[in-house]
Structure 1
Amino acid sequence: MKTKINKSKFKILAVIAFFALSFQSCSSDDDPVNLAAPVISDFEYGEGHHDHDDDDHDEEEEAYAYKGSDLHLEAEIYAEAIVSSIEISIHAHDLEVGDNEEEWDFEQVYTDANYLVINASFHEHIDIPATAPAGEYHIELIVTDELGNVTEVEGHIDILDVITLSDISIDSEVVRGDDFHTEFMIDAVNGIHSISVDVHAHDITPADGEVEWDFEEEFLEGYHEETEVEFHEHIDVPATAPAGEYHITFTVEDEDGNTKEYETHIDVTAS
């Protein structure tokens, strides 16, 4: 009798253990799996830039791109859960919008099939309008996985003019019959096609012995196809030119048809 009771107890304990293990297994299956948020590395954008996690460099290089060109972006993404979206956001830092410019911001969410994977290589090119104001822009790369985990990296990039004028020195006054001096540096990424100078009067009525004077000339020699050059010319003012204020426009055109203008005034005096 004693042996039978022990066997019965054993059977009961075995059944209890079975159900306990089964319950534990089901509970484990129902528990959510904790997967880490995506990791972004080797984030590259524009020219002259390297990822800020690169230990081979002591400090981050300045990133830049040119108006009217495209902005290259790439990054490596490691995600334990499948990526659901990759977003790029670019916006300016209180930039002044000049003549012939339009405020530019960029936002786009990428859900291409080749990005919706565990490990993704992000590679895109974004067009920068030629009318975008030059200056510093903030750039963000945001990766979201299917579990809702979000990882973000950010940086700054300078959007540059394809043509820049600097060190400008132009006479503000000239005696008619003499010449006036013009000088400035030109940096043109795509090479200079031509430099035009236009001088015209501001509602000046010629007096006796005076002849209405306007000046237009295109300068090529010594400048055409150069990417960095000093424009240095002397422009003759006829002795018969009416005295008064004249408007001057310098227009630099590059080999891609982009233009940069600089405007100023000069007073032509009788003596």
Structure 2
Amino acid sequence: MKNMRLIALCLLAVWMGACKKERNGDPAKPLVNGIEIGSGNEKKAYIGKDFHFEADVTAATRIAATGISITQKPGTPYTASWKLELEWPEFKGAKNTTVHKHFSIPTTAPAGVYNFAFFVRDENGSETLVTADLSITDPADLAVQPEINLVRGPAADQLFRTGEPIGLELQISGLQDDGSFLALLISETANHYPETVGQADLAKSIVLSDVSHARLPKNAVLPVSATLVTGAGTDNKRPAGNPLTGARAWQNGRYSLVLLYHNTTHGVHAYKSVPIRIAL
């Protein structure tokens, strides 16, 4: 009888311990969605060039820390030892946020395939880690190296009032074969941030310039110029312009002048953005 009581007590202790473990459990982890590693999530980077990263993060409680690392793969030969680690303290304490960052790949980075990791650490002690392969290439090895060079255009935060022209003059260098270019005005209220031609939603954009080219020789330069009057009824979308109504209608407030180039033959992109203001 005494043994039976002892067995019952042991079973009760085990059951209570299991219940306690289940109640405590592992803390909930941050959620990561909409991740883009490089423009268009191509998982490509170029030495000495700008690199785009974006992810939508929902913390379990609050973000304690977030950042990325780019490290060399064990057993893979590289011309030099190199790694990059970045942490972004501006997101600390946020519950829901979009981590949207640009940074340069240093000229000291050797070409090759790397381990890319994005981490989000929660205040509850949990962590979410997203990993991928990242290809880092020397632009000198590319058939085309497109660069958007502004000759004339809006200054950062320049104000444009109704009836004032928004002018743009630029050159796109390092071209070859076929490609296309868009210059777009996008209100911050649209919550739309394209960084490639393929990402652009023209239902949310005012087209300032719409240009394409074909069969260009190596290292060609494409000149682009365009003007659109603030408050105009249609934009410059080929062939006849889009009516500026609905989501495309002019608004007071902040806009981005977004410059997007895509070489359709070689699959290479270029991107620039200038903030401006509109007062109707």
Q: Please, what TM-score do these two structures have when normalized by structure 1?
A: 0.43
Q: Larger % of helix: which?
A: 2
Q: Give the number of the structure whose alpha-carbon radius of gyration is greater.
A: 1
